[in-house]
Amino acid sequence: MIAQGQKLPAVTLNQLTKDGMVTHQVSELFAGKKVVLFAVPGAFTPTCSEAHLPGYVVLADEFKAKGVDLIACVAVNDAFVMKAWGEAQNASELMMLADGDASFTKALGLEMDTAGFGGIRSQRYSMIIEDGVVTLLNVEAPNAFEASKAEVVLAAL
């Protein structure tokens, strides 16, 4: 599993924008920026939609006031689902990133097999990234939602 002090893997993530599909090189996307990245097991799922994503939406201005350049949410879903979920959650201040084939999640070592629920998904986590290097990593215990909350990450900044 990736650890604090390590550089993010050289993989891609996708984003559906008003101009179409954009494939981001992770190394370029996060270069020279302070980023708060959090991952969820799936878009439109209960904890993710009722608590995890909304916390970051509500606190987006406070993150930016603490010098965060980008707040990004990633899930092992396709870019169409991530865009629709972001719109449904009023997440216009967040970048909704799709890891459709779980390559980013697997490269981080943060995948989990949910079997019949949805196959390979991401564990729930949050991280602070500075110029592509992980400076804080909070991985949730199975079935927990504490360490990756927006309030916890904001307090760490």
147 within some domain: yes
Inter-residue contact 93 to 71 (CB < 8 Å): yes
Q: Is 105 helix (H, G, I), strand (E, B) or coil?
A: helix
- Amino acid identity of residue 118, one-letter, is G
- Told to judge if 48 belongs to the known catalytic residues of this protein, a careful annotator would answer yes
Is residue 115 over pLDDT 90?
no
Inter-residue contact 52 to 38 (CB < 8 Å): yes
pLDDT tens string 82-110: 999 999 999 999 999 999 999 999 999 99
The model's confidence at residue 112, banded by pLDDT at 50, 70 and 90, is very high
**115 or 73, which is more confident:** 73
Specify the CATH number for the domain of residue 74. 3.40.30.10
Question: How high is the pLDDT of residue 118?
Answer: 81
What is the total count of domains within the chain?
Answer: 1
pTM value surpassing 0.75: yes
133 within some domain: yes
- Amino acid identity of residue 110, one-letter, is L
pLDDT tens string 26-39: 999 999 999 999 99
Alpha-carbon separation of residue 32 from 2, 26, 54, 69, 136 (angstroms): 20, 12, 27, 9, 17
Question: Structural domain of residue 121, as residue ranges?
Answer: 12-156
DSSP single-letter state for residue 69: -
121 within some domain: yes
57 within some domain: yes
Question: How high is the pLDDT of residue 93?
Answer: 97
Distance CA 92, CA 10 (A): 26
Of all residues in the chain, the percent with pLDDT exceeding 90 is 93
Is residue 116 over pLDDT 90?
no
Question: How high is the pLDDT of residue 97?
Answer: 98
Q: Chain-wide mean pLDDT for the chain?
A: 96
Question: Which residue among the candidates 29, 48, 59, 76 is catalytic per the annotation?
Answer: 48
